[in-house]
A and B are shown apart, each in its own frame.
Chain A
Amino acid sequence: MEVMFGRRFFSLLFVVWLMVPGFSAADGTPYPPDIEKIMQEKILRVAMYHDDSPPFYFNNAQGQMDGIDVCLIWGLAKRMGVEVEFNREGKSFEEVIDRLTRHQADVAIAKLSKTFFRSMRVRFSVPYLHLHQALLVNRLTLIRQHGSEELSDDFSGRLAVLAGSSYVEKANSRFNRADIVAMDDWNEMVAAVIDGSVAAIFRDEVMIGQVLRERPQTGLSLKKVILPEANDSIVVVLPWDSGQLLETVNFYLQSLNLDINGDKILKDPDGVLKMVREKTKCP
């Protein structure tokens, strides 16, 4: 009796195994639908943020797209044997994510972070970069409001974040006593913290560090505070139903064996970009 059951079970398993590739074979395609679509169109459609953010994505002196994120996707497309099409219509990072949910893009890459609410709508790759969350604080405004230069979680002053970015969610969950102001433009945020109309701005350590590097005189009035325990994993984002493409992206990112973090990028942005170019064979 036991032998009979075993035989039936394995026969059934064999039939199922025959049927699975059989569906694809019937369509004449060897790939699951998400990959198949890209392979047929021979284009990988990439959603990106509209504004430049060197060294991650920017238009170089020749007017061509360049940067760590650009090279990573270029290398992926090359391995798949397809072309890349960058779409930079996203005026906010949420708009970039929206393009994925509406299937207007195959992947999104723009130094995007994982957040709880995004995880309910899209899929994330393994991180290709680890950053820390950071604040740029106006020393005098903070002393005036809190009597100290040290910023704590019970900070209750005005805190600016970029509208439609993951930092809106991060600020709301961490600084729940702060008056959180969402601003549309990064430069507007920087100007606000310099003139003291907001006490601090909240973003990743690279963006914060770049302000102090590009405008060193602000070091007297502004202070960078890195939140060492608050990691910001930067990932490639995919539509919820792109399971196979996610496997491919993860395999590709892991095979590159990148070891980059915010500190390395701030110290030597050109060196990191050069390393990524070499690994992805990006022109």
Chain B
Amino acid sequence: MLYWMTHPLVVFSGIGLGVFIGMHDPALGLILAPFGDIYLALLEMCVVPILMAAIISGLGRLLGPKAPKIHLYRLLFFFPLGLALASAIGIGTGLWMQPGQDIKSLDRSVLGRLVTQGEESRGDTEKASGGHLVQVLKDMVPRNVVAAMSRGPNLSILMFSILFGAALGLSRTTGAEAVLLFMEGLYQVFLKLIFWVLYGLPFGLMGLYAGQFSRSDPQIFFVLKDFIAACALGTGLLLTLYLGIVRSVSGVSLAFILKSLRKTLMLAMTSSAFATIPTALRAMQEKLHIPADGSGLVYPLGINLNRHGSVFQFALASVFMAQLYGLPLDGERLVVIWVGSMIAGMAALSGLPGMGLLAVVLGFLGLPSNVAIILMTTIDGFIVPMVVLVTVVANFTLTVLVCKDSTSDSQPQPSPVP
């Protein structure tokens, strides 16, 4: 009945209206902003249970007596390859488009003023340095699972879900089987919830984008237009590549893939990759006939650890910063950016804010990460949806590559009808 609410035309109208309001009537944009935040909170309310239920039941089945096969060697091959590719395309786009080269003096003044104001409002005490490895590992183990759950999706929940799922899969008792069924039931209930929430997507996006754009200075977008264009080009390249792979592996048409992924792609526009888990899993299981056990494990794990979007953004932003500061990019520095962006992208769940990890790469290059973080945060509204889109489609592709052709004699996970 409300099917049209998730139609791309309606969803993009919501985004367009939000951007228009944000730019032309910032006061109204700020009034609408809380509605966007409420919508995002509604989506994220379902994220932690879905993430946990999907990983626990996926791993539980995988290690259980009727284990489906996933192509582990493919995972081990494609996972690093994908990250390396995303990083390389980030560097390549940056070198080709040169978004940080020859920025005019007037534009440098705009950027300089933005950075000074940004630092003044953040205070001098805030640090953007990367976390300590031991601390990251320490934080990974949840002392209190319920407390960890209250912090939203994070590495400790992932760790707990993996351990719990593994223990569940190896416990061959009727009680354990009941827990597994309970997890699957829980997953389906939250799936139902998220499909309800989906009907508010155009309004939610309108609020989110109105808020985002009313808080930002249009002059900055103009100065950083080359960076935004480079980001769009790189994103386009990666998406074309991923969809091409899915098409050749699954043997279905591009139009069919896009139609199946419609809701997932729309949800990615909320800038929350986690929110796409249920719709992406459903599209894979129902439309592309990927077994539920494998995809239920690989996709949520990938959203956490295989962040092609962040890797791409880190690589591009590092090249941009090197150009902005006139740092010549020789072979050694390019390798630092290439590898550093991959590591930073994987560590994106270490509890640090997303862009804070850029400090890992820029620290190696001797470039100021505070400046990069302030500049990137300012154009979040443009960049983050593209970055999330890349991560979502990349993990969709990885899941298809890893799980396609898996022979599963376990019961496919039933999916509810929205």
Q: A and B from one assembly? A: yes
User: Which of A's residues lie within 8 Å of B, judged by CB?
Assistant: 139-140, 143-144, 147-150, 212, 215-221, 223-226, 228
Are A140 and B366 in contact (CB-based, < 8 A)?
yes
Chain B residues in 8 Å Cβ range of A212:
112, 116
Segment of B46-54, B161-169, B368-376 engaged in the interface with chain A: B368-376
A-B contact pairs, 10 of them (CB 8 A): A139-B370, A139-B371, A140-B325, A144-B366, A215-B112, A216-B110, A216-B113, A219-B114, A220-B371, A224-B120
For chain B, the count of residues having a C-beta within 8 Å of the partner chain is 25
Cα A77 to Cα B385 with chains together (Å): 65
Asked if residues A150 and B119 are in contact (CB atoms below 8 Å), the reply is no
Is the Cβ of A217 less than 8 Å from the Cβ of B368? no
Bound together, the chains give a CA A217 to CA B367 distance in angstroms of 17
Q: Which of A148, A215, A221, A228 is in CB contact (< 8 Å) with B129?
A: A148
Contact indicator B370/A217 (Cβ below 8 Å): no
Q: How far is the CA of A148 from the CA of B369 in the complex (A)?
A: 9
With the chains together, A149 CA to B325 CA distance in Å?
Answer: 15
Provide the residues of chain B in CB contact with A139, threshold 8 Å: 368, 370-371
8 new A-B contacts at CB < 8 Å, known A143-B368, A149-B368, A149-B370: A139-B370, A216-B109, A217-B105, A219-B111, A220-B112, A224-B116, A224-B124, A226-B124
Tell me if B124 and A216 are in contact (CB < 8 A). no
Contact call A149/B114, Cβ cutoff below 8 A: no
Task: Please list the residues of chain B having a beta carbon within 8 angstroms of any beta carbon in chain A.
Answer: 105, 108-116, 119-120, 124, 127-129, 324-325, 363, 366-371
Contact partners of A223 in chain B: CB under 8 A: 119, 368, 370
Chain A residues positioned under 8 Å from B119 (CB to CB): 223-224
> Is the CB–CB distance between A143 and B116 below 8 Å?
no
Q: Residue on B with the closest CB to A227?
A: B124
Report Cα–Cα, A147/B298, bound state, in Å. Answer: 38
Question: For residue A143, which residues in chain B have a CB less than 8 angstroms away from its CB?
Answer: 366-368
B116 cross-chain contacts in A, Cβ below 8 A? 212, 216, 219, 224
- Pair A220/B124 contact, Cβ less than 8 Å: no
Top 4 closest pairs, chain A to chain B, by CB: A219-B112, A219-B116, A139-B368, A216-B113
A259, B108: Cα distance in complex, Å: 35
Q: Which of A150, A216, A219 has the most CB of B within 10 A?
A: A219
Interface-central residue, B110, B112, B325, B367, by most chain A CB under 10 Å: B112
Taking a contact as CB atoms closer than 8 A, the residue among B112, B120, B369 that contacts A217 in the complex is: B112
Please give, as numbers and ranges, the residues of chain A lying within 8 Å of B105 by CB-CB distance: 217
> How far, in angstroms, from A163 to B252 measured CA to CA in the complex?
76
Please, which residue of chain B has its CB at the minimum distance from the CB of A142?
B368
Most buried by B among A144, A148, A149, A218: A149
Report the Cα distance A215→B127, complex, angstroms.
25
B366–A217 contact, CB under 8 A?
no
With both beta carbons as reference points, the residue of chain A lying nearest to B325 in the complex is identified as A140
- B residues in contact with A228, CB < 8 Å: 124
A35–B252 CA distance with the chains assembled, in angstroms: 99
Is A219 a contact partner of B115 (Cβ separation < 8 A)?
yes
Tell me if A216 and B368 are in contact (CB < 8 A): no
Contacts of B112 in A (CB 8 A): 212, 215-220
C-alpha spacing A220/B118, complex, angstroms: 11
Q: How far is the CA of A212 from the CA of B114 in the complex (A)?
A: 11
Q: Say whether B127 contacts A150, CB under 8 Å.
A: yes
A71 to chain B, nearest CB (A): 28
- Taken together as a complex, chains A and B put the C-alpha atoms of A143 and B129 apart, in Å, by 12
Shortest A266–chain B CB gap in Å is 10
Q: B113 near A219 (CB under 8 angstroms)?
A: yes
Residue of B with least CB distance to A219: B112
